[in-house]
Chain A
């Protein structure tokens, strides 16, 4: 099909103005090779109003996402439907992604950083605005994700999946477990506790426990949090953002500060592991699709975003990776088991206690210095 398209592309002249009905159009045209070929290449030309960048589907799209964070058929279906060949590479952390982007062009069209990182990248002028005219399915999002504090109005980011940062615990070994961050300071469990390595996530735990805002810029409060964390340090097995899943699963640790989806993986291995969102509050995070400044295929990237926001496509991703979807319209296609799991889709009263980490600009150094002191001493 690709070859034939290439030949026919030459015969075709730009100008078919049918971005909205592309899918239906494609299916109808399925039997007519000529029209099909043209549609694959030319759909969506013209009136995107935003005026930035290209307005044509390209034959290539380069996606940079977390590993194992997509349904098996998401990419193949997109490739087939739009005649685009996708290169799908993986990275392992927001920080390394940012450092790579900051050093220069990478050639990727879509990256999936987390919330506060969207702010950071935007401030560093590493992203370009998304032309929402090309992403009409944006309407499918929950209102919460249309007005997220890190990017109200989805100018630069479209949510992919979301979750929380709470406590993974072993129900058998910690019979007196309560959903409270205080558990992470319980001397009974000394040597069986782990904390994440992310600076702001670690401080958020102490700040929640102290009842302060997790995005505080008050040096005294941050200092108080640091002292509290210093108290906790002797009780810890170590700080880890990667090995804690295995440790929970193999009974090596009993209380782990961790990401919801990670802990569910431990649950899948070990029935006595559970996940709780502490009553003091917890961090909510959402990984979001963004377009880097230098992306070579912007329009195609937007087409992909629109595709992911289709209810069935978004639901398929959630059904595969077991994270919550930001897509409200996808609800009806998501496995009830996932939808009714309070750890994945927290009830409203719990959701009210969730807070995003925000990039605090200059005040970030307060956290950096406090964390340096915590780790060095």
Chain B
């Protein structure tokens, strides 16, 4: 067994090299971004010399830090909501066949095909017609509405071909429907839910158009802040905040990995 795996490792050499190149492609602009966070110029245009002043300015820039806080709040809450609701809906749609599911299917694809500006304008008009004043909550509502479909599509791709014999077996062993879901179905869905949640987070974190229309006074998010700087120059301070985000999340990632390894029981893998 062990030898076989090693064998496969070497076989996958070509694949490994290719994957390394894809990661390089993903991180190419990030390298530039990090370099320019040390650029001694107000603009992201040409290299003018090394400085750390953008980090200093960032620490003292209340509005930008507030915007980051708003962005994180919205993204975290909206991701949780969209992922939970989306996963349940995806489960229902693949697990059960019933009359009327076609209509549901149509509704789910609407957020994918709708131009962002149409959604932004429509929802804002809706909020106004209903007399709802804009706030962070309205932003969360808006984000969930466009994120949910992405989660559903990904989780369904996972669920497709799910072997129901597993559920049957669990129930034969005496588990009820809910226990079966929790112990058999949910773990099976997990990679799809994680993938959906990751994508949802990024969708929310980076959204400009829908956020612009549905944000109230003082609800500036990072994308709103950055886009508003376009006319007068997006300063390397924004690079600095991106580097901060990258470093912070990388550390978190490293930490969680270390904990995982130290606790001695690796999370379920299908390595064996």
* A and B, direct touch (CB closer than 8 Å): yes
Q: A residues within 8 Å of B by Cβ?
A: 62, 66-69, 87-93, 96, 99-100, 103-108, 241-242, 245-247, 249-250, 261-262, 265, 268-270
How many angstroms between the C-alpha atoms of A268 and B129 in the bound complex?
A: 47
Contact between B231 and A249 (Cβ–Cβ < 8 Å)? Answer: no
Pick from A66, A92, A100, A108: contact of B213, CB below 8 A. A100
Name A63's closest neighbour in chain B (CB-CB).
Answer: B217
How many angstroms between the C-alpha atoms of A282 and B70 in the bound complex?
A: 41
Pick from B41, B46, B213: contact of A103, CB below 8 A. B213
Contact between A92 and B217 (Cβ–Cβ < 8 Å)? Answer: no
Contact between A62 and B228 (Cβ–Cβ < 8 Å)? Answer: no
Pick from B43, B46, B124: contact of A265, CB below 8 A. B43
Give the number of residue pairs across the A-B interface with Cβ within 8 Å.
92
Q: B residues within 8 Å of A by Cβ?
A: 41-46, 48, 63, 117, 121, 124-125, 127-129, 133-134, 212-213, 216-218, 220, 224-225, 227-233
Chain B residues with CB under 8 Å of A91's CB are 212, 228
Distance in Å: Cβ of A169 to nearest Cβ of chain B: 16
> Nearest 5 pairs between A and B by C-beta?
A104-B128, A90-B228, A68-B232, A103-B124, A246-B45
Distance in Å: Cβ of B106 to nearest Cβ of chain A: 26
Question: Which of A90, A107, A247 has its CB near the most chain B CB atoms (within 10 A)?
Answer: A90
Query: Main SS of the interface on chain A?
Result: mixed
Query: Main SS of the interface on chain B?
Result: loop
Name A259's closest neighbour in chain B (CB-CB).
Answer: B231
Chain B residues with CB under 8 Å of A93's CB are 231
Contact between B218 and A92 (Cβ–Cβ < 8 Å)? Answer: no
Pick from B44, B121, B133, B213: contact of A105, CB below 8 A. B133
How many angstroms between the C-alpha atoms of A105 and B135 in the bound complex?
A: 12
Distance in Å: Cβ of A126 to nearest Cβ of chain B: 13
Contact between A250 and B45 (Cβ–Cβ < 8 Å)? Answer: yes
Distance in Å: Cβ of B33 to nearest Cβ of chain A: 14
Chain B residues with CB under 8 Å of A247's CB are 45
Contact between A90 and B225 (Cβ–Cβ < 8 Å)? Answer: yes
Contact between A269 and B128 (Cβ–Cβ < 8 Å)? Answer: no
Contact between B128 and A246 (Cβ–Cβ < 8 Å)? Answer: no
How many angstroms between the C-alpha atoms of A261 and B213 in the bound complex?
A: 27
Name B213's closest neighbour in chain A (CB-CB).
Answer: A100
Chain B residues with CB under 8 Å of A107's CB are 133-134, 216-217
Chain B residues with CB under 8 Å of A269's CB are 41-43, 45-46, 48
Contact between B43 and A87 (Cβ–Cβ < 8 Å)? Answer: no
Distance in Å: Cβ of B173 to nearest Cβ of chain A: 56
Distance in Å: Cβ of B241 to nearest Cβ of chain A: 15
How many angstroms between the C-alpha atoms of A268 and B232 in the bound complex?
A: 13
How many angstroms between the C-alpha atoms of A69 and B48 in the bound complex?
A: 24
Can you give 11 A-B contacts (C-beta < 8 A)? A67-B228, A90-B225, A90-B228, A105-B133, A106-B216, A241-B231, A246-B44, A249-B43, A249-B45, A262-B232, A270-B46
